Amino acid sequence: MIKENIQLTCWGCGAEDPKMQCPVCKKLGLPPSFFCTQECFKKNWARHKLEHTKPPPATIDTMNPYQYQNYKFSGPLRPAKITPKRTVPASIRRPDYADDPEGRSESEERERGGGKIPRWKGDDLVAIKRVAKLCREILDCGVKAAGVGVTTDEVDRVVHEATIERGLYPSPLNYYTFPKSCCTSVNEVICHGIPDARPLEEGDILNIDISSYSADGMHGDLNETIFIGKPDEDSARVVHCAYESMMAGFATVDGIAGAMYKHVGDAIEAVADTYGCGVVRAYTGHGIGDKFHTVPNVAHYRNNKSIGVMAPGHVFTIEPMVNLGTWHDQLWPDNWTSTTKDGKRSAQFEHTCVINDDGKPEILTDWEDGIPTYQKQLKEFGMELPKPINPKKE
């Protein structure tokens, strides 16, 4: 864990509060080095340039000291060091962004802002169902690995190895340069948390988000939030609310002729209201198949402008993020970790589904017994499922 109140010093002379950063370190992606003046930089160049040829460190900071010192965190969580990207055997099929220096998916970018919603069938749909089932197995491995004292980096290692064992590529790895094989979002982190060296603590809540790419060229995607040790009442409420909200979203799909994607958010926020939770607006559910993210976009809040009418063959996710407080979010300087604006806790669940010919949704990423992990945990702790705290609005 990085310490609070870091004091920057000049690499050359040790003066406090240096203003100049070495441009070569920045270009090479090395830990930042700061200098007090241009003259000090030139004077120490011969010695400092040796830093540019050193092997990469065993661990990496996702924020430099200046960012860490000046960023206003909304809650108690802080970033810890991360390990370098894990490797994927060359024999495993890779998505188009896997080896791109900027992690760009050209296939997704060509469709961004438009496109007809695919209607999957035949062998393609079989392949989507297959990778979704394998993703469920991988998430189960990650959930089993998590516990008090375990780092989220260790969870990522387990997930990565489980993915490779199944002949899959971990879809988050290098997606627009995301450095890890899954997302681990703790407490006030809404989504896209980067697995790091912070040990999980008693009373934490943890979301593990799993996505994988198969030899058939299809992606799968799901996530769930679990308890690390016995939760307090508020943590239990926000986790249960997230699950109930997701299921309310899927209920809008169930055989309703001409159902529209924009109505999913109406159902989700109606449930969240009864639990006194806010629904995040910055992130949506999405279509999935041969692309990691595609149409339709499925917003999770009411009165949204999601486009499209549901139809057989559509494959998409519903994945509401709900907060104990405000729905507003803020982004850490790592450009990935999204947290609640007020520092209160957030929870999320995600399933992938296909609409069958009868108009009913088939959830492709369900638990084997259909029971969420958090509900089993509450039962083990002797706790009841939380009840709504607000009357339902008609």
Residues 194 and 341 occupy one common structural domain: yes
For residue 43, report the phi and psi dihedrals to the nearest 5 degrees.
-60, -35
Q: Give pairs for 157-165: CB < 8 Å, separation 24+.
A: 157/86, 159/208, 159/210, 160/86, 162/137, 162/138, 163/138, 163/212, 164/88, 164/89, 164/92
Contacts (Cβ under 8 Å, ≥6 apart) of 147: 200, 228
Angle between helices 152-165 and 122-145 (to 10 degrees): 140
258: pLDDT confidence band, cut at 50, 70 and 90?
confident
Of residues 348 and 255, the one with the higher pLDDT is 348
Least confident of 19-23, 39-43, 137-141: 19-23
Q: Note whether residue 80 is domain-resident.
A: no
Residues 114 and 183 occupy one common structural domain: yes
Residues 162 and 28 occupy one common structural domain: no
Residues 31 and 175 occupy one common structural domain: no
Angle CA 258–263–264, to nearest 5: 110
What pLDDT digit, counting tens, does each position of 211-241 carry? Answer: 999 999 999 999 999 999 999 999 999 999 9
Residues 9 and 144 occupy one common structural domain: no
Q: Note whether residue 179 is domain-resident.
A: yes
User: Quick count: other Cβ atoms within 10 Å of Cβ 370?
Assistant: 7
Range of 26's domain? 1-56
Residues 26 and 112 occupy one common structural domain: no
Judge whether 103 and 177 are in contact, CB under 8 Å.
Answer: yes
Q: Note whether residue 298 is domain-resident.
A: yes
Q: Note whether residue 144 is domain-resident.
A: yes
Q: Note whether residue 72 is domain-resident.
A: no
Any idea what the CATH number is for the domain that residue 365 is in?
3.90.230.10
Residues 137 and 248 occupy one common structural domain: yes
Residues 245 and 186 occupy one common structural domain: yes
Q: Note whether residue 386 is domain-resident.
A: no
Task: State whether residue 274 is helix, strand or coil.
Answer: helix
Cα 154 from Cα 61, distance rounded (Å): 17
Residues 159 and 300 occupy one common structural domain: yes
Q: Note whether residue 32 is domain-resident.
A: yes
What pLDDT digit, counting tens, does each position of 180-208 carry? Answer: 999 999 999 999 999 999 999 999 999 99
Residues 256 and 332 occupy one common structural domain: yes
- Give the residues across from 278 on adjacent strands: 323
What pLDDT digit, counting tens, does each position of 269-282 carry? Answer: 999 999 999 999 99
Ordered strands of the 351-355 beta sheet: 294-298, 285-287, 315-318, 351-355, 361-363
Residues 131 and 203 occupy one common structural domain: yes
Residue type for 16, please?
E
Work out the mean pLDDT of the chain and round it to a whole number: 93
The string of DSSP letters for 166-221 reads: TT-EETTTTGGG--SSSEEEETTEEE-PPP-SPBP-TTEEEEEEEEEE-TTS-EEE
* pLDDT of residue 394 exceeding 90: no
Number of domains in the chain: 2
Q: Is 229 exposed, middle or buried (0-12, 13-18, 19+ CB in 10 A)?
A: middle
Q: Note whether residue 353 is domain-resident.
A: yes
Comparing CA positions, the residue from 148, 196, 205, 228 lying closest to residue 348 is 205
Residues 12 and 148 occupy one common structural domain: no
